[in-house]
Amino acid sequence: MLDRLDGTAKPLGILPNSVSLKGQEVLPTRFLQRPDGKIAFDDSGTPGPLVICVPSMGDLRQEYRYLTPQLAAAGYRVVTMDVRGHGESSVGWSDYSAAAVGSDILALAAELNAGSAYIIGTSMAGGAAVWAAAEAPNLIAGQVLIDAFVRDHPSTFMDKLIIKLGSGGPWGQSVWSMYYKTLYPTKPPVDISTYIGALKANLRESGRFTALKKMLAGSQAATEARINSVKAPTLIIMGTKDPDFPKPEEEVAWLKEHLHGDLLMVEGAGHYPHAEMPEQVGPAIIAFLKGHH
């Protein structure tokens, strides 16, 4: 079930897509009702194949602010969604796993009733896209995995620190913000300060940092177990300087082996190549989508 922004959610104007891209339309927030809460999303409503963009944990759907205009201009209907507990989606979910986010992706694709959808997922959402493609191949026409976590890795020091800090206080949001800056090692977006400010403000809202901690502590085992069942065409994108992967080239080699996908290594980019180097990544994604439509 879908509904329009009802006045109780924070207006989209507090978020940075209208700041960094002057002239870009700020779309109204809509909601998908799920058994445990609501998933917030926006919809370009333009004619064309459906593309659902799903952000990383600890981020907002405006992560795609540099990519969505390119996709819309290329003739795609673009939907961006906030994952559970983040952005304008509700908090207090019983499950924050990649599989649960994958189920939200499928529910949204089914509710929009626009035929099979292309999924673009970053980080943990890449794992969610893989789970969705294995679960309901009839709903997923193809997937773009950006610096995706599809299997478990040893926890980094930052992961352990974030979990240890606890929820609710200001320290956790500040540490996450400092960490977030490191994910753009070469060419941070011009609006990065404004964007991080909006991100911190969102994480200060009740329940949101708890959601982030639960996602950080979650396992990708369910996703890895299903990866060989995926038949959807796949584009794998990875920044060569992603600090979340000690050896990014080894991770994409593993993904390519299991998904038989196309590969784009973005030289110098970190965890968000589509926001750090959109002039390179956007055309590559569009070429992939057009090649498989």
Percent of the chain with pLDDT over 90: 76
Q: What is the pLDDT of residue 22?
A: 40
pTM value is 0.90
Q: Please determine, for residue 24, whether its predicted confidence score (pLDDT) is greater than 90.
A: no
Give the model confidence (pLDDT) of 80-135 as tens digits: 999 999 999 999 999 999 999 999 999 999 999 999 999 999 999 999 999 999 99
What would the pLDDT profile of 257-269 be if each residue is shown by its tens digit? Answer: 999 999 999 999 9
Query: Which range (5-14, 136-145, 278-287) has the least confidence?
Result: 5-14
Q: What is the rounded distance in angstroms from the CA atom of residue 11 to the CA atom of residue 32?
A: 17
Interhelix angle for 98-112 vs 124-135, to 10°? Answer: 60
